Chain A
Amino acid sequence: MADPTTQTRTLDHGSQPERFARGWHCLGLASQFKDGKPHAVEAFGGKLVVWENSKGELGVLDGYCRHMGGDLTQGTVKGDEIGCPFHDWRWGADGRCKQIPYARRVPLRARTKAYETVIRNDSLLIWHDPEGSKADYDILPPELPDIGNREVYTDWIWNTVPIKGSHCRELIDNVVDMAHFYYVHFAFPTDFRNVFEDHMATQYMASKGRPDVAGGYGDADMFLKSEATYYGPAYMINWLEVDYKGFVTEVILINCHIPTGPDSFLLQYGITVKKPEGLDDKTANFIGKKYADMFGDGFLQDVHIWQNKVPVQNPLLCEEDGPVYQLRRWYEQFYVDVADIEPEMRARFEFEVDTTKANEYWHEEVAENLRRIEAEKAENPESSDAGVS
């Protein structure tokens, strides 16, 4: 066999999965669907209809009527059912056609795809499984205490970003990507750990902002402590403690997505801030907005990378890199039949990276950047915005 150290390395783009992940997927804040109208959500290569029944419960069905293919998302909510705009077939949240106004009987086979739903942390979650299994309520993301209590937390700031041309695994890869926090988000990671186990994958990280570049995760005065766990393939809770000049704020960031096609997904993120004691609502909301903007910009920095990169099945790692292959092995469990899940996909794996070496190098680079900025300022005193490219 040829010596791999003298060969040119090639990127294996691989082939993408032909299915969408099994597990709980978040469609967004439940409140947005509660206006008596049908709502369209693109998901799993098709379209879903979401509506609220008379009891305040949300129903989720495949968006197209099994009669003649009418678009239910353009229909009308009638009582507890959604009526098709084409011939007014009335569908219930259990997936059965309840009534056809012009017919004596409903065909026994009038059943459509219905999704099991749960409201969790103010959001609507649905169970998706290509094998058609019953929803697994044991692996739901945990309920966050007091999250719906406006005395304790600010209102959600909820944003969506459609991503085209990337498989959602690109987003998952970030869980292990210690170094990108420096290059993409302009923060020094000072502590970094991963644990994968069962249906969960976690990243623990502490970081502080870079003084030489603006627009990342804060500036040199900002310290972040972050614990971020994926509960299944598409819903992450990120507990954040932001220390800005000694003023500590607790932030909850929900990072979730819905795959919409083989290489597209809808990224969603929601932010709520625990109201610091002694602060009025206006100030607390202002802080919430500020952090939502900061993490929102962070996602856009990632998005820019994803939309310009190529898929790679064989990433080449250096010894300081995180466990990309182990994370992908964990993620694979959601794409194979339950019967084909290998024990190592769910077995506990722990990783702790030494950030000392990388940080020594990065601190030198930052010091050099700061020297250059100073020198440029001295040469060119009028230009105040000399920055790092």
Chain B
Amino acid sequence: MASFVPTSQDTVEDQRLYTQARLVEVECLDCLARVGVKKNSEHQTSVQWTAEAQAQCPDLVRRKAAADGARLVHARCPRLAASIEAAVADGRIQIGAEDGY
């Protein structure tokens, strides 16, 4: 059963724009986990994981096991962060939003 149902088709399009548009696939140079990355500015980064990528990142798996569900693992994986920086450096990730998304 759906909830919070939008009444306009434009809203469905907005949902797509804000959650999926401009997501660039980045592969971790270390563990090869693939995530979606978006940067609205130099210091702003969104990273969309998938269950598959989460299972593939040894750093995340290890820290998650250590946290035992009590606190969410929040620090970014440093290897993935480096891979994202590399993707920015060689122009694969464009910095700057398109009208807010």
Tell me if A160 counts as interface (CB < 8 A to partner B): no
Tell me if B91 counts as interface (CB < 8 A to partner A): no
Please state if B51 and A340 are interface contacts (CB–CB under 8 Å): no
The distance from the CB of B62 to the nearest CB of chain A, in whole angstroms, is 15
When distances are taken between beta carbons in the complex, the residues of chain B under 8 Å from A336 are: 1-3
When distances are taken between beta carbons in the complex, the residues of chain A under 8 Å from B49 are: 347-350
Nearest A residue to B99 via CB reads: A5
When distances are taken between beta carbons in the complex, the residues of chain A under 8 Å from B45 are: 350-352
When distances are taken between beta carbons in the complex, the residues of chain B under 8 Å from A340 are: 1
Please state if B47 and A314 are interface contacts (CB–CB under 8 Å): no
Nearest A residue to B50 via CB reads: A347
8 Å CB interface, A215-246 against B:
227, 229
Given known contacts A12-B10, A354-B41, A313 and B3 CB-to-CB distance under 8 angstroms? no
Please state if B7 and A19 are interface contacts (CB–CB under 8 Å): no
Given known contacts A351-B46, A354-B44, A195 and B72 CB-to-CB distance under 8 angstroms? yes
Please state if B46 and A314 are interface contacts (CB–CB under 8 Å): no
When distances are taken between beta carbons in the complex, the residues of chain A under 8 Å from B43 are: 352-354, 356
Please state if A227 and B41 are interface contacts (CB–CB under 8 Å): no
Q: Chain B contact residues (Cβ within 8 angstroms of A): what range?
A: 35 or more
When distances are taken between beta carbons in the complex, the residues of chain B under 8 Å from A17 are: 3-4
The distance from the CB of A54 to the nearest CB of chain B, in whole angstroms, is 33
When distances are taken between beta carbons in the complex, the residues of chain B under 8 Å from A227 are: 71, 74
Please state if A347 and B48 are interface contacts (CB–CB under 8 Å): yes
Q: Which of B6, B8, B69, B97 contacts A142 (CB 8 A)?
A: B69
| Chain-B contact segment, one of A118-126, A279-287, A317-325, A372-380 | A317-325
When distances are taken between beta carbons in the complex, the residues of chain A under 8 Å from B101 are: 317, 319
| Chain-B contact segment, one of A60-68, A103-111, A197-205, A293-301 | A197-205
Please state if A195 and B100 are interface contacts (CB–CB under 8 Å): no
8 Å CB interface, B25-81 against A:
40-51, 54, 60, 69-74, 76
Q: List 28 A-B contacts (CB under 8 A).
A: A12-B10, A12-B11, A16-B4, A17-B4, A18-B1, A19-B1, A195-B73, A195-B74, A197-B54, A197-B72, A229-B71, A314-B8, A314-B14, A317-B101, A318-B97, A318-B100, A319-B40, A319-B97, A319-B100, A319-B101, A324-B18, A325-B18, A335-B3, A335-B4, A336-B2, A350-B46, A351-B46, A352-B43
Ordered nearest first, which 7 A-B pairs have the shortest CB separation? A354-B43, A17-B3, A319-B97, A335-B3, A142-B70, A348-B49, A319-B40
Binding site for A on B (CB under 8 A): 1-8, 10-11, 14-15, 18-19, 40-51, 54, 60, 69-74, 76, 96-97, 99-101
